């Protein structure tokens, strides 16, 4: 498909995060800090899982994969956003915009599916503990990871083609800080019905199916936990789920608020806020939540630190 024949626009210009010049230095320092913490946190989480034998289980295998996805998808948006905060004109080429959206959409779709298979893993561990090792084999875990990755990139191909096949022949000004569906659809001067249908189909397919997987899994998990006689047993069972449930709630909540809220002039500012939350802030929060709330991760970190100190 020759995209150049479909459009008269070769460059797009972002509005950026804020028009307030005095606020820009603060925003730059804030989000630079958030991005650095995100890189260190997710890289650290993958390293801890890799070097700690106690974390060589399906639950932490999926967690390290989640950290990898967070690391990549925050890096698709944050560096360009940070450089634009220091620039007078926030420009991106048509191809650059398409590539940014493609990889971001792929990582978002993958993360949705990863969070749902993590819920399934917790369901098997708590509701079918005797069969856990037989069900969650290394081969099955790898297959689930490859399935989520392939589905994430395949859905992104469809969304990218439908979005960038639209004609952008008038304004090239994107009222946002990265290439996303709502601002680009508003900018198009051609019929957007097909693109809207494709978007709704994939948003509903990924968000609703993964949300239902999580809801059904946790309904069964809570039912199983309530049947445990000891308070300590119930607390331990729920503690293994609380970190994942917190991460999933934050991520899904911001996505639903952003994509399923009716479009309006006032919504454009909210759109930026929600986008910052799930595109930049959430990748930082996930490893922090697991580090602070998960006892096994805490113990693994302390053991690594102890071993490092002894080595010194």
pLDDT in tens, 75-110: 999 999 999 998 888 999 999 999 999 999 999 999
Q: Across all residues in the chain, what is the average pLDDT?
A: 85
pLDDT in tens, 128-170: 988 999 999 999 999 999 999 999 999 999 999 999 988 888 7
Quick one: residue 111, left, alpha or beta (phi over 0 = left, psi -120 to 50 = alpha)?
alpha
What's the confidence (pLDDT) of residue 168?
86
Judged against a pLDDT cut of 60, whether residue 244 lies above it is answered with: yes
Decide if 170 contacts 189 (C-beta within 8 A). Answer: yes
Judged against a pLDDT cut of 80, whether residue 277 lies above it is answered with: yes
Secondary structure class of 193 (helix, strand, coil): helix
Judged against a pLDDT cut of 60, whether residue 3 lies above it is answered with: no
Quick one: residue 281, left, alpha or beta (phi over 0 = left, psi -120 to 50 = alpha)?
alpha
What's the confidence (pLDDT) of residue 92?
93
Report which of 145, 157, 154 is spatially closest to residue 116, judged by C-alpha positions: 145
pTM score = 0.87
Q: Which domains are seen in the chain, by residue range?
A: 11-311 (1.20.1070.10)
d(CA 33, CA 201) in angstroms, rounded, equals 36
What's the confidence (pLDDT) of residue 148?
94
User: pLDDT grade, residue 231 (50/70/90)?
Assistant: confident
In 170-294, where does DSSP find H-type helix? 181-187, 193-226, 231-259, 265-276, 282-293
């Amino acid at each position: 498909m020759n995209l150049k024949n479909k459009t008269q626009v070769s460059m797009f210009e972002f509005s950026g995060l804020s028009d307030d010049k005095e606020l820009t230095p603060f925003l730059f320092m804030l989000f630079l800090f958030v991005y650095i913490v995100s890189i260190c946190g997710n890289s650290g989480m993958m390293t801890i899982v890799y070097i700690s034998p106690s974390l060589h289980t399906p639950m932490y295998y999926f967690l390290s994969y989640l950290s990898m996805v967070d690391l990549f998808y925050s890096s698709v948006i944050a560096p360009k956003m940070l450089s634009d905060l220091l620039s007078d004109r926030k420009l991106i080429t048509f191809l650059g915009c398409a590539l940014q959206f493609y990889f971001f959409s792929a990582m978002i779709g993958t993360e949705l599916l990863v969070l749902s298979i993590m819920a399934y893993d917790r369901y098997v561990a708590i509701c079918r503990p005797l069969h856990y090792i037989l069900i969650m084999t290394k081969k099955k875990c790898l297959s689930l990871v490859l399935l989520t990755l392939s589905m994430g990139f395949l859905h992104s191909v469809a969304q990218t083609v439908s979005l960038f096949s639209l004609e952008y022949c008038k304004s090239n000004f994107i009222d946002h800080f990265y290439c996303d569906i709502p601002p680009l659809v508003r900018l198009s001067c051609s019929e957007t019905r097909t693109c809207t249908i494709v978007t709704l189909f994939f948003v509903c397919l990924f968000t609703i199916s993964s949300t239902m997987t999580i809801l059904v899994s946790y309904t069964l998990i809570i039912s199983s936990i309530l049947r445990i006689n000891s308070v300590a047993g119930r607390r331990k069972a729920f503690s293994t789920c609380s970190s994942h449930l917190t991460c999933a709630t934050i991520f899904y909540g911001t996505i639903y608020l952003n994509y399923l809220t009716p479009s309006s002039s006032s919504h454009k500012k909210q759109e930026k806020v929600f986008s910052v939350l799930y595109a930049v802030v959430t990748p930082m929060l996930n490893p922090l939540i697991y580090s602070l709330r998960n006892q096994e991760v805490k113990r693994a970190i302390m053991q690594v630190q102890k071993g490092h100190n002894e080595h010194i």
